[in-house]
Amino acid sequence: MLDAAAKRAEADRFLRRYAHDVRTDSGHPALRGCDEVDWSAIPGCPPEMPVLLHGLLDPAIAPEAARVLTNVLMDGIFRLGAAMPAVLPFVLRLAVADPRVPAVSCLVDIVVVTAGLSEPVDADNENAVRLRGCDSDHPERERCRAVFAEHAALLAGLPDELLTDADRASLRQAAGLGEPQGSR
């Protein structure tokens, strides 16, 4: 688990190494609006988040951008970071926008993990609460479910070859959708 200072240091290392290589003016439609988010107002989120997101488009640095992005977005193995709900729409759009996006498999992984970790925790399940915490302490779960619901139409565009049936079910549940027709 990376604390806020470690996340910041990792993002800073990425920026020192790659910021001059990243085109933040790419005009990629999936990233439209990412420069308008007040990233620095989100706890544990580097203000240069657009550089990380745009780095996902560059084949030479996409793997490192995806690794740093994942670390910034997670607060632990089973915990989503506060930035996840704000980043999720961009990650979803990138994952379905263009199969040539170099980090698409990493992006799909982020989407699937987020769907699973955004599921509500049963307050009566002591083990689940101990492992993942109470929902009231983790509003990012509900916010991520709202993002999945808002962008539910995009879920069908995720690459089939990168998803299992369990992944699809988790995504549908996170979006508040019922079972697909013919699944019973």
pLDDT of residue 183: 47
Closest Cα to residue 35, out of 22, 23, 51, 21?
A: 51
Determine the Cα–Cα distance for residues 74 and 52; give it in Å rounded to an integer: 15
3-state secondary structure of 40: helix
- Provide CB contacts within 8 A for 161, sequence distance 6+: none
Instruction: For residue range 46-87, list pLDDT tens digits in order.
Output: 888 999 999 999 999 999 999 999 999 988 778 898 999 999
Determine the Cα–Cα distance for residues 31 and 178; give it in Å rounded to an integer: 29
Asked if residues 171 and 115 have their Cβ atoms less than 8 Å apart, the reply is yes
Determine the Cα–Cα distance for residues 79 and 134; give it in Å rounded to an integer: 11
Which tokens in the block code for residue 100?
């040539």
Instruction: For residue range 97-136, list pLDDT tens digits in order.
Output: 777 789 899 999 999 999 999 998 888 999 888 888 888 8
User: Does the predicted model carry a pTM greater than 0.85?
Assistant: yes
